[in-house]
Amino acid sequence: MTEPIDSPDNTHLKDSERWIVRNGVGVQIMETLAVGAFLTALAVQLGAPNWMIGALAAIPHIAQVAQVPALWTVERLRKRRMIYLISGMIARPMLLVIAVAAVVYTGMQALWLILLAFAIRYAAGAFLSCSWNSWMRDLVPDAEMGRLFSNRQQKMIGVGILFSLLAAAFIDLWKQFSGLPTEYAYATVYTLAFIGGSYSVICARKIFEPVMEPSHAHIISHLRAPFANRNYRRLISFLASWNFAVNLAAPFFTVYMLKRLEYELTLVIAFATLSQIASFLTVRYWGSIADHFSNKVVLATCCPVFILSIFAWTFTTLPEPHGFTIPLLILIHIATGFAVAGVNLASGNIALKLAPIGGSTAYLASSSMVNATAAGIAALLGGIAVDLFSSWELGLTIHWQSEANNLQLEAMNFSHWDFFFLFSTLVGLYSLHRLSLVEEKGQVQEPQTHIMTDYKNREIHLTSRPNGLPVPENFGLIETNVSSDDGDVLLKNIYMSVDPAMRPPLTNGQTKLDEPMMGGAIGKVLHSSNPDHAVGSYVIHRAGFREYHVSDSSDLRTITLQDEPLSTHLHVLGGTGLTAYGGLLVTGELKDSENVFVSAAAGAVGSVVCQIAKIKGCRVAGSCGSQEKVDYLLNELGIDYAFNYKTQDIRKSLREGLPNGIDVYFENVGGEHLDAACGQMRPLGRIPVCGMISAYNNKGARSEGVTTLSNMIYNRVTMKGFVVYEFEHLREQFLTDMRKWIAAGQMKYSETIMQGIEQAPAALIGLLKGENTGKMLVQLSEDL
């Protein structure tokens, strides 16, 4: 098993594909033998009441509440393959517990143990699915999803057909010839399910894992994000209503055939196999249609067929089985298999496709939780209500009488199970309405009747990965078109931020090749369908490096201007200032009159840190890379000591500037700066680590030349990294303090502004070379 890779390419995908398919084969063996018809048949064999069958059907869905801790775990550890493997080692052995329960215990005692084992299995399975979905979203390109996952699903269906037939025949033959309790046959089947599930976990070890993009938002913010996205919220609404409709009836198809129609398990499995064959023969076609058109096209075709198939179950008895029951069941299962292949493929793929790359974990986890809750509630309601429906009956009889004939025809008869199928059909029809509201990029749109405005847009793409300091050839200026009809809000970007933290993603794969780069920006709203973002208002967002941005509103934060220039909300009054404020006062635990050293002191963050420290009565020393910046720090910002690290010895300068040692070292540079500062830290000193720009151009962003870390031991020095998201709760107090300090002349700022989108790469390169004083910005347009 390898560590997550920085930048997966087609070779990694090709090498992983066979293991993705083999993983699916193992999962299918497990699911075929452990759930569905075999689980229901085992429950019936043990004498389960209907409510227990409903509870067993609901457990896989209810257990998905574990998606919340699973999401936290994935975002915290950011090693999805490791989480998948550990979760698998917890979940798969529960199948052996079920096998033991079937032979050691009887009746409700066995059923309660099985219920508990299933709950543990699916709670661990929530961690499996959360890590797997995010993993596949980042590994498999949109254009390959239909092909790859239809191939995987086709092989899974084929294996499912084989194992379901063999297992059903094995159980029926066991009943006839073994002389031992049938529960022993089920125990054997569940042992084979355990082997299949274990194989799937082994295969997952061979699949490449891309590095996850860093995200430091609170888990609540993660969970809110999918619901703030209007289109993804609509998708969740469709999937929830669909899963409710399906799971209201589907868990009882097997019970209906075993109990109501009194069919043998072999015949029941034969019908299921017929459905699987139909899926096997059609799933590749659905994958091709999804890739060439859209997943929504597939859903809009298959969902109505599935709903009609559910409704057709009501005609299998009128009110008793009749001569057309078996032919009708054959047609139902063929149509269901045809529809299920498309629905399962397209519903999974559209959830993956509409989730943002690098931030898909929360989207997919939230979707899974809502859908599972809907499915679980439906199964529980079905299990509870099945006995209530046993006394219900609704019939329609056509009676024709003449002198020659007296004809009476039973046109419709709803009783007991039929009401499940009817209610499921009605909810399914509602879900089709919810599907119509979902928008998928790539689908054929109906002609628009409202006015649409198009804009010529230019954006910066990363075209090759830099080796060391980036060069202009690593970037490309690409022309595109954007439309006011593409999202909730259309923005014209005015300023964009250029930050040192942009450098590592260029190499580690978080910034994708041939896609727009990301970075903080301020935009003005040109068109809006969201009342929270009125036309003419200003917003901050992460889609810099382009002239226009179309947003679904989830990534926007409104700016409230007072007397300050607009650009200050990208530095002294924005994330840069909040980074300095929280990093120094919270992480650095600054106390009045301490000794503070700031590296990169003339930069955007460093210059703000220096001034906050002075406001708090501290002695401040700062390093920078030119005499001009030394003068700026001493004469403009008024710090106590400044030196040019390119021409002066860092250790000697620190001894001169802070002869009593360092209480707080605000770390922006790393390398020799960190080495020198560690050697001069005072007891109980603190090192808040904001960045290490000296390492950003190194392979793997490795910091070099640090030999004095042992000084931290006896001086009990604390060194702690931080990110600006930790201080979001301080934003209002930060703005109040910062505006007060600016008005009093205690907080000054400097801007280095380059003009035009074409200068964005040069701005980033210049920043990394230390050519800026204060905040590096690119002005993309005039604020008209």
55, HSE (Cβ side, Cα atoms, 13 Å) = 16
Residues 392 and 468 in one domain: no
Prior bond of 319 cis (ω within 30°): yes
Joined together, the tokens standing for residue 541 give 């967002």
CATH of the domain at 469: 3.90.180.10
Joined together, the tokens standing for residue 123 give 């709670």
> Are the C-beta atoms of residues 494 and 783 closer than 8 Å to each other?
yes
Residue 446 φ then ψ, to 5° = -70, 150
Joined together, the tokens standing for residue 664 give 């707080």
Final residue before a domain boundary, out of 543, 562, 581: 562
Residues 551 and 576 in one domain: no
**What is the C-alpha to C-alpha distance for residues 783 and 529, in angstroms, rounded to an integer?**
22
Residue 46 lies in a domain: yes
Residues 66 and 102 in one domain: yes
The residues that bridge with 519 in the sheet, in sequence order, are 543
Residue 764 lies in a domain: no
**What is the C-alpha to C-alpha distance for residues 605 and 599, in angstroms, rounded to an integer?**
10
What pairing do the DSSP bridges indicate for beta strands 489-498 and 775-779? antiparallel
DSSP state of 514: T
Residues 276 and 361 in one domain: yes
Residues 296 and 334 in one domain: yes
Joined together, the tokens standing for residue 756 give 């035009």
Residues 558 and 577 in one domain: no
Cα dihedral across residues 418, 419, 420, 422: positive or negative:
positive
Residue-wise pLDDT tens digits, 496-522: 999 888 888 888 778 888 889 999 999
Residue-wise pLDDT tens digits, 587-630: 999 999 999 999 999 988 999 999 999 999 999 999 999 999 99
Residues 623 and 487 in one domain: no
**What is the C-alpha to C-alpha distance for residues 374 and 251, in angstroms, rounded to an integer?**
14
Residue 469 lies in a domain: yes
CATH of the domain at 58: 1.20.1250.20
> Are the C-beta atoms of residues 663 and 688 closer than 8 Å to each other?
no
Final residue before a domain boundary, out of 388, 419, 446: 446
Residue 782 lies in a domain: no
**Residues comprising the chain, all counted:** 784
Final residue before a domain boundary, out of 511, 531, 562: 562
Residues 682 and 740 in one domain: yes
Residue whose structure tokens are 């992983």: 16
Q: What is the pLDDT of residue 385?
A: 63
Q: Give me the number of domains the chain comprises.
A: 4
Range(s) of the domain holding residue 531: 455-562
Joined together, the tokens standing for residue 348 give 């999974």
Q: Where are the beta strands (DSSP E) in 573-717?
A: 595-598, 619-624, 641-644, 662-666, 681-689
Residues 383 and 414 in one domain: yes
Residues 392 and 253 in one domain: yes
**What is the C-alpha to C-alpha distance for residues 400 and 407, in angstroms, rounded to an integer?**
5
SS3 71: helix
DSSP state of 546: B
Residues 609 and 718 in one domain: yes
**What is the C-alpha to C-alpha distance for residues 709 and 179, in angstroms, rounded to an integer?**
73
> Are the C-beta atoms of residues 621 and 588 closer than 8 Å to each other?
no
Q: What is the pLDDT of residue 442?
A: 42
Residue whose structure tokens are 């600054």: 590
Q: Which residues of 464-498 are buried (b: 16+ CB within 10 A; e: fewer)?
A: eebeeebeeebbeeeeeebbbbbbbbbbbbbbbbb
Residue 784 lies in a domain: no
Q: What is the pLDDT of residue 459?
A: 94
Residue 567 lies in a domain: no
Residue 221 lies in a domain: no
> Are the C-beta atoms of residues 315 and 463 closer than 8 Å to each other?
no
Residue 216 lies in a domain: no
Q: Would you put residue 740 in left (φ > 0), alpha (ψ -120 to 50) or beta? A: alpha
Amino acid letter, residue 442: G
- Outline where 313-392 has alpha helix (H): 325-354, 360-389
**What is the C-alpha to C-alpha distance for residues 213 and 357, in angstroms, rounded to an integer?**
9
Residues of the chain with pLDDT under 50: 1, 6-8, 216, 442-452
> Are the C-beta atoms of residues 306 and 428 closer than 8 Å to each other?
yes
Residues 477 and 556 in one domain: yes
Q: What is the pLDDT of residue 6?
A: 47
